[in-house]
Chains A and B, each alone.
Chain A
């Protein structure tokens, strides 16, 4: 874990971008990658401004509302609509969504 001051100096390298692309399952054309690296670097520099702010003792805010979760009764309310839903599917056979085989 880097400290705040180390962050000011951080700049992304193309290996970092490659790793992110892999995690996010995004293919970036080689022609785009230099531009992408430059723009991402700018964005990271923008958000690095946050590091200067002292936030000790501050509780992070995950929701604007401070309300508890409502619960739903355990009742079946949905019926079989797979024909309708699968109308949008790119590749379906025998009601199953097909993807290239994954070998475990």
Chain B
């Protein structure tokens, strides 16, 4: 059961081959068995899940089911969940029980999904390896000495080890796609504004987007269907109709032109990874797509742009964590300013502090024009590059990450090295474009991801291409040894 995709589990539930309660128990047992070494979960909501499962079974029996009734999922611990601890992987929120549900959580619950728990993540979503969490690193089920990727590392590990069948994540610079690539999953980042950010603790407001980590594009479509759409509580949420994704991905294959940024295939890309990605691209050719080189002339600046804009927005977004209304508060009440400093100094980890300081620096008087303003201008240039490219091609494809999963501890002392992991993924966040990473092979037993980027609001086309790829290949169905 645990190996099934959401689609197949749904069939099983509807066909009464197993009940939601059995399914939930099965996954809870697996979590109890395996998560000790993976550390994918921060909170496991067993009682609540079993109650939801009972409710789901009643609905199924009454023929009253919704799209996701009975399907066990997990939420990245960045999504506020009512009555349940929501920590963002940080000591700052270790004691924070959210009084409300994020829109993503609300919508998936309304569609009948069952939440088994909250997954581990890089602290406040700042990281590419899930090593900055207050709750310890997450291990990659493919090789437990290696990172699963980040910041949605917990969600990735949980789905890969089949502790849940799907999970939500967030992607600001690649935090869904990169872990998906390193863990052998399908990771979708929708268009900016496609999914509501209400209830998703903010890291970088103009870049953050909620998305999914699933076994397949088909599953991603199932979940996206429920979470996409206008939310009045989020001013940046798009008022655009939501297509029928499931139907869209099954429409007959049409000839696609796929752009490949040749600059991505340079020395920065591990040779074996490059080979696996190129093999993936040839699958598209076999399907009838035309590959065409494209030039994204400013893409080499995406990492510097990101590391100005994201920390700037984050430095401001994280100012609310001051120990006054919620969250961690340091001991000693002598002086207000000292209390703030100690609370924040003790509550935040090193990477978060570095990013706050970077952000404060690039916004400060005398530096704003040279850094923040300049970065937003270069961001415009990068977006324009994509827009122009999409006049010639339908999708853009390339590697998701420069290497497969690296060892825990390998890059954690060199922030800039760590940042360069995001080199292929950041562009889509800067331009607000939808992107998905799909498994396209293995290198020394470790998964490799191929990334597809589409024009704004073309998730249907993106998922369709991914789906057809997955009809031709079975990389996405592989399971690491002991978790089968």
Contacts and interface: CB of A to CB of B under 8 A. Distances in A.
- Is chain B in direct contact with chain A in the complex (CB below 8 A)? yes
Interface of A: 1-2, 4, 7, 12, 16-17, 20-21, 23-29, 32, 36, 39-40, 42-51, 53, 55, 58-65, 67, 69-70, 72, 81, 84-85, 87-91, 97, 99-102
B47 interface: no
Interface stretch (B157-165, B322-330, B436-444): B322-330
A26 B344 contact: yes
Given A40-B354, A43-B307, A64-B431, A70 B235 contact: yes
Interface of B: 95-97, 99, 192-193, 206, 232, 235-236, 238-239, 298, 301, 303-305, 307-308, 315, 319, 322-327, 329, 333-342, 344-346, 348, 350, 353-354, 356-358, 360-362, 364, 366, 369-371, 373-381, 383, 414-416, 419, 430-432
A5 B206 CA distance: 29
B354 A1 contact: no
Contacts of B319: 24-25
A88 B336 CA distance: 19
B313 to A, nearest CB: 10
B203 to A, nearest CB: 15
B30 to A, nearest CB: 32
Contacts of B364: 20, 23
A25 B320 CA distance: 11
Contact of A61 (B298, B335, B380): B380
A46 B373 contact: no
Contacts of A51: 370, 374
Given A24-B357, A53-B298, A55-B377, A46 B419 contact: yes
Given A21-B357, A43-B354, A65-B193, A97 B308 contact: no
Of A4, A26, A63, most buried by chain B (CB within 10 Å of CB) is: A26
Contacts of B362: 47
Given A47-B308, A58-B381, A61-B380, 17 more contacts: A12-B361, A20-B357, A27-B345, A29-B345, A36-B350, A43-B419, A50-B378, A53-B378, A58-B378, A59-B380, A60-B376, A65-B238, A65-B432, A70-B232, A70-B239, A88-B96, A90-B327
A1 B371 CA distance: 12
A84 B192 contact: no
10 contacts: A24-B360, A44-B361, A50-B371, A50-B375, A51-B374, A59-B380, A64-B383, A72-B232, A84-B99, A97-B324
B376 A90 contact: no
Contact of A1 (B369, B379, B414): B369
Nearest to B419: A46
B354 A61 contact: no
A89 B326 CA distance: 4
Contacts of A81: 99
Contacts of A55: 374, 377-378, 381
Given A61-B377, A65-B193, A28 B96 contact: no
A69 B315 CA distance: 24
